């Protein structure tokens, strides 16, 4: 049964990346190659008409992980807390970029939301790639006793920055 | 990023009559060269970081189907300028993504999150799964969810078929 659910979740994740992947890719192309207003509008439309239905697959994958592998779900969502919050914000900015750009016919308004769509798509592709890399390489997992995590502050919480990244720090590092 | 840029470019070619469509095929070709180089580089790095990473493929040769799917997409996209139908190049970039993700997961199986320290073991499908009862309940809800998902996708496919140029959006 575990193997069955692993295969199902793998398929759902692959379908999500195939479907929403073209939205991310369209955003990247939009950012670097679309020059005329007609091209920008067409590319935004090619992603905008589909992004919401494609993300249903992400929600489905999350729901299935929660149902089938709750410990993995809890570990990953707490361990990758900050990157996941950033991903959530990027998804929001990508979506509103697509939905808002056509609401007013002011060039500056369109330019702002075009950048929001393009930059968010680029960063989302980058973040998902980093996530896949981390999952394949492995993380610094902490211990669990009787189903409860043992608090070990240095384990598997991967902040993008901490006090050592502060300009006041003597040793600057990421 | 490179894979998704290729996939997005194929989608734009497939769904629009944008003026950059002709240029996009050249862009895809160049990005594909970069992707082939990155694939070799990441394989070498992966093997260095995790020396046993490819053991699953040696022990269970049928899992090699997934890297073959990836390679089919990668090699096929080098012929993008010769492909007559846009859908073919889109299918090839879909194979890239499918093969990439499934190869990564197949290399890990049954581990789903390796541990890099020697104190705590990895998370596997066995030590993180719900109880047998929980998994069977999940199956019931999953079937209902999948039916809804497929109905939704079929309706959307029918509504959004063809090029999007004439469709109204965002006004």
- Residue-wise pLDDT tens digits, A7-18: 999 999 999 999
Residues 2-21 of B with CB under 8 A from A: 3-12, 15-20
Q: Which two tokens stand for residue B135?
A: 């998994």
pLDDT of res. A164: 52
Residue of chain A whose alpha carbon sits nearest to that of B15: A46
Taking residues B58-85, report their average pLDDT.
92
Q: Which residue did the predictor score with more confidence, B168 or B19?
A: B19
pLDDT at A174 over 50: no
Which residue in this structure is represented by tokens 């900015």?
A93
pLDDT at B18: 84
Angle in degrees, CA B23, B27, B32, rounded to 5: 150
Confidence band, pLDDT 50/70/90 cuts, at residue A22: very high
Residue-averaged pLDDT of chain B: 89
Mean pLDDT lowest among A61-65, A111-115, A139-143: A139-143
What pTM, to 2 d.p., does this model score?
A: 0.87
Instruction: Kindly provide the b/e burial profile for residues B140-152, where b requires at least 16 CB atoms within 10 angstroms of the residue's own CB.
Output: eebeebeeebeee
Summarised one tens digit per residue, pLDDT across range A47-69 is 988 888 889 999 999 999 999 99
> Taking a contact as any Cβ pair under 8 Å apart, which residues of chain B between 100 and 139 contact chain A?
101-102, 104-105, 107-110, 112-117, 119-123, 125-130, 132, 134-138
Whole-complex ipTM: 0.90
pLDDT band at A144 (very low <50, low <70, confident <90, very high): low
- Give me the pLDDT at residue B106, please: 92
The chain A residue lying nearest B102, using CA atoms, is A10
How far, in Å, CA of A77 to CA of A139, rounded? Answer: 13
Mean of pLDDT over chain A: 83
Q: Which residues pair with B115 in a beta bridge?
A: A139
Give the dihedral of Cα atoms A40, A46, A47, A51; nearest 10 deg.
150
């Amino acid at each position: 049964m575990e193997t069955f659910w692993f295969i199902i979740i793998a398929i759902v994740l692959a379908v999500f990346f195939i479907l929403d992947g073209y939205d991310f890719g369209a955003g990247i192309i939009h950012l670097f190659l679309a020059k005329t207003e007609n091209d920008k509008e067409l590319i935004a439309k090619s992603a905008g008409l589909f992004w919401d239905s494609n993300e249903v697959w992400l929600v489905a994958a999350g729901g299935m992980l929660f149902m089938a592998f709750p410990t993995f779900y809890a570990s990953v969502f707490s361990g990758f807390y900050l990157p996941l919050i950033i991903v959530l914000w990027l998804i929001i900015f990508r979506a509103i970029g697509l939905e808002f750009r056509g609401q007013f016919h002011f060039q500056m308004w369109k330019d702002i939301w075009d950048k929001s769509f393009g930059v968010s798509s680029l960063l989302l592709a980058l973040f998902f790639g980093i996530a896949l890399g981390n999952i394949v390489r492995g993380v610094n997992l902490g211990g669990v006793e009787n189903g409860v995590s043992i608090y070990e502050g240095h384990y598997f919480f991967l902040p993008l920055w901490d006090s050592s990244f502060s300009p006041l720090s003597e040793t600057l590092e990421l | 990023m490179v894979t998704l840029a290729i996939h997005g470019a194929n989608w734009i070619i497939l769904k629009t009559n944008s003026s950059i469509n002709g240029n996009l095929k050249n862009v895809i070709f160049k990005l594909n060269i970069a992707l082939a180089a990155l694939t070799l580089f990441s394989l070498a790095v992966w093997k260095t970081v995790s020396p046993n990473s490819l053991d699953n493929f040696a022990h269970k040769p049928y899992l090699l189907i997934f890297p073959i799917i990836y390679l089919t997409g990668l090699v096929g996209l080098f012929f993008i300028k010769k492909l007559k139908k846009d859908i073919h190049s889109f299918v090839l970039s879909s194979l890239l993504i499918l093969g990439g993700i499934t190869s990564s997961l197949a290399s890990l199986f049954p581990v789903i999150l390796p541990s890099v320290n020697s104190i705590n073991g990895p998370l596997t499908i066995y030590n993180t799964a719900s109880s047998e009862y929980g998994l069977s309940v999940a199956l019931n809800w999953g079937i209902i969810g999948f039916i809804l998902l497929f109905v939704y996708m079929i309706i959307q496919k029918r509504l959004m078929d063809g090029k999007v140029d004439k469709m109204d959006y965002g006004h």
